[in-house]
Chains A and B, each alone.
Chain A
């Protein structure tokens, strides 16, 4: 029954116009970045590398597909949560708003299975969005700008990664980025179990992200103890794969915290939905 209802969830997601809004918006945003980089990427690079030009000389194709993919990921990882929650925040509360939750909950399928099938569908949708992001950023980026070594500026300074040493890093960073987006998806579905309308969980998800991001960026000691446990602190962990050497312990810590968030949020949603009186 879980598989059958998961299939149903895919049918519903595929039929909803808002599902394509996320993919469309992502395509548009990346197209704008690609166009801007194609049109005036060199001056952008000059601006970034200006401070190093007296001590270093850059040869070869710096503005390549690898760098473009990195820039795109960095720019969009903040905005993609909105596109994810636009679809996943509606998965349970949308049924309540439409009234179909009554029909669903009177079928011989347990409420646990109803919620789990929505989580699975949300996870697959998020995966499709992440793969699409990767395809546009990396594949289209390389096609338009060619390949080359990747120069990344981080807090420790400039990191230069060989072309042959990049692809696996992107693979891993997309996997961690997916886990971060999956946490957003899980959060919005969890909030969706508490709501009776579609917009509430979407707005609340974004509010939580903004609040946690502000807490994370505030240099105040009172928040120091909670910062390591906020999922927003670990949303940029994908960047760690572009450090040399790769800080594996930091990455594993982030992965575990994000996974823990997913487990806790799914458990809360299951508890709430199983106890919920459907009166809508």
Chain B
């Protein structure tokens, strides 16, 4: 494990009775990564994350965080980690401030009341410090969860489905918050999510897990760029465009979306040439946009 590696999980396996939730998961997270953790429901994402946070004891494999074995240096490691697992749960009968005080007290670092107030302000809960959590909406609890996660200035932040149940505005807020953590504070973030667009937008590296096994791991851009690209074209003549594509790019897959839009799947280096052929054929190309590809890539990997 070198100095840049924050997490190294090797051949992790976990059984619940006869059910094998995780069979063989391995991946590495580097310092400063926003690491996407992808997989369909029941793939073993949450079990793997719970193993990494010592909530669950693995049957096999090793987990190293910050270069140290999790089993041997549990408390030392967890003092440097902040996490939200699925949904943040708090003591409903206590105020937001009191909840943070409770978790700060056992976070391994001294956190002042001023810092708690500052953190509530940071996540947009200023003015609600004294309110009981029982009156909080899901989004507010989620933000309080983020505050709890960051309170002790952890080096690694683990967010398991942090946007579940949030409205679009809440999702954007959490996304921006993660990006701020990376850019302003250079935190390492592990982000497990069903929202593929979210991973594509904010992660630089990722692993895909399916049926308890890690399938593929690497740089998000590299993984997506290695595959074929899908572009959406807005043109004045769809029929003529389809003919040009069929004759000039026989390997490409073209789909007529509506009377102005077509979708073309082709190799990335063919994209400039596609534009050129269209213009030469007298077709007006009003727009040419790459389509989000992670969804297609994900489906391809899972199905294969």
Residues of A within 8 A of B (CB): 1, 4-5, 7-8, 11-12, 15-17, 98-100, 102-110, 275, 277-279
Contacts and interface: CB of A to CB of B under 8 A. Distances in A.
A1 B91 contact: no
B34 interface: no
A101 to B, nearest CB: 9
Nearest to B51: A277
B89 interface: yes
A110 B89 contact: no
B79 to A, nearest CB: 4
Max chain A Cβ within 10 angstroms of own Cβ: one of B81, B83, B106? B106
Interface of B: 16, 50, 53-57, 74-79, 81, 83, 85-94, 98, 101-103, 105-108, 148
Contacts of B76: 108
Contacts of B83: 106
A115 B53 CA distance: 18
A15 B93 contact: yes
Contacts of A105: 53-55
A279 B53 CA distance: 12
- Residues of A contacting B: mostly: helix
A7 B98 CA distance: 12
B106 A8 contact: yes
A11 B76 CA distance: 26
A10 to B, nearest CB: 11
B90 A100 contact: yes
A220 B108 CA distance: 56
Given A8-B102, A12-B102, A108-B78, A103 B88 contact: yes
A100 B54 CA distance: 15
B90 A17 contact: no
A7 to B, nearest CB: 7
Contacts of B98: 11, 15
Contacts, number: 81
B67 to A, nearest CB: 17
A4 B101 CA distance: 11
Contacts of B81: 106
A105 to B, nearest CB: 6
B74 A107 contact: no
A83 B105 CA distance: 29
Given A105-B54, A108-B75, A277-B16, A15 B106 contact: no
A279 B85 CA distance: 10
15 contacts: A8-B106, A11-B94, A11-B102, A98-B91, A98-B92, A99-B89, A105-B55, A106-B54, A106-B81, A107-B106, A108-B74, A108-B76, A108-B108, A110-B74, A278-B56
A278 B55 contact: yes
B72 to A, nearest CB: 13
B106 A279 contact: no
A202 B244 CA distance: 76
Nearest to A277: B56
A-B pairs, 5 with minimum CB distance: A99-B89, A108-B79, A108-B75, A108-B108, A278-B55
B197 to A, nearest CB: 27
B50 A98 contact: no
A277 B91 CA distance: 21
B93 to A, nearest CB: 5
Given A12-B91, A15-B91, A106 B102 contact: no
Contacts of B103: 103, 107
A107 B50 contact: no
Contacts of B92: 98
A12 B106 CA distance: 14
A11 B87 CA distance: 23
